[in-house]
Amino acid sequence: MTTAADETSVLPPTPGAPATSLAELQAREITAWFGDRKVLDRVSLTMPAGGITALIGPSGCGKSTFLRILNRMHELVPSAQLAGQVLLDGEDIYDPAKRLIDARRAIGMVFQKPNPFPAMSIRENVLAGLKLTGTKASRSSKDGLVESCLRKGGLWDEVKDRLDAPGGGLSGGQQQRLCIARSLAIKPRVLLMDEPCSALDPTSTRVIEETMKDLAREVTIVIVTHNMQQAARVSDQCAFFLASQGTPGVIVEHGDTAAMFQNPQDPRTSDYVHGRF
Ligand code: ADP
Ligand code: MG
């Protein structure tokens, strides 16, 4: 049942307001198809509030599809179909009474390739999400918001003297941190990151990893990564996806990252985390 109170509780607060409480994201029995091809089969996973969950596994096993389902982004693909539930603090984001925009506001996404608006200034980039989602903010609260988001994105010190310079003029790693800052401006409760460092050099990667660890104090993070060392460095828990021989993707094993890397329960997990396939 949905009540008016349920509806408003997934909305982020006014920009400039204190951080929201941490939210748990729960996927229940997710099955997904593209046309008549099933690509995920009854995948369930709880992503704890304020933790970093890493989704690992070989290419093509459905990690990105699963991530997109977590904020309804897969709906952009007309052939995509879904069964199952995604609960944000117990509220079904697919409830027909809920608005898509609210799910997208509450659950932000950062992509593999940094995609700031290149001609827009750094400041305008950070504020862009407010416009897209119709979030209102006063001029003075916007200045504060730009600074706080750039700080949280680990970029403030590098750009504070050139907020009017175009976003496209930054390095790749800086652009990705600008994208993180942009996604934070609408105060998401969850941040989904699809291989956010795979287009970046090792130094930028480390900076973003540190940024993520700081962010996890106020935003629940789910990251897809091919990089086992990265999963080990940043995540609290890990889920190992696999789709063998044309079968749909499933989670073979999930749990505490350190435990999974040191003592995997399934031989396929062991092979994967030790780079044997
Ligand atoms: P991963 O991120 O683990 O590499 P994906 O979620 O991208 O895997 O893909 C899972 C499966 O779904 C793959 O077989 C892929 O070819 C298929 N797939 C992904 N996106 C689409 C799409 N838009 N249309 C049709 N099939 C797709
Ligand atoms: Mg992918």
Each of the 277 residues of the chain gets a pLDDT tens digit; together they read 333 333 333 334 444 444 568 999 999 999 999 999 999 999 999 999 999 999 999 999 999 999 999 999 999 999 999 999 999 999 999 999 988 888 988 999 999 999 999 999 999 999 998 877 777 888 888 999 999 999 999 999 999 999 999 999 999 999 999 999 999 998 999 999 999 999 999 999 999 999 999 999 999 999 999 999 999 999 999 999 999 888 999 999 999 999 999 999 999 999 999 888 7
Ligand 1 centroid – CA 211 distance (Å): 28
- Ligand 1 pocket (Cβ < 6 Å) reads 34, 39, 59-65, 77
Among 41, 55, 64, 193, name the best residue to mutate to test ligand 1's pocket (greatest count of ligand atoms within 8 A of Cβ). Answer: 64
Among 38, 56, 65, 247, name the best residue to mutate to test ligand 1's pocket (greatest count of ligand atoms within 8 A of Cβ). Answer: 65
- Determine the pLDDT at residue 20: 61
**Proximal ligand: closest to the CA of 61:** 1
Angle at 74 between CA 11 and CA 85, to 5 degrees: 65
- Determine the pLDDT at residue 269: 95
The atom of ligand 1 lying closest to the CA of 66 is 6
Ligand 2 centroid – CA 24 distance (Å): 23
Which residue is it, tokens 């091809």? Answer: 37
Ligand 2 centroid – CA 232 distance (Å): 19
ipTM of the complex: 0.99
The partner residues of 256 in beta bridges, in order of sequence, read 237
> How is residue 270 written in tokens?
């062991």
Protein residue with its CA nearest to atom 20 in ligand 1: 65
Largest CA distance in the chain: 56
Can you say whether the dihedral through the CA atoms of 198, 202, 205, 209 is positive or negative?
positive
Among 34, 82, 252, name the best residue to mutate to test ligand 1's pocket (greatest count of ligand atoms within 8 A of Cβ). Answer: 34
φ, ψ for residue 215, nearest 5 deg: -65, -30
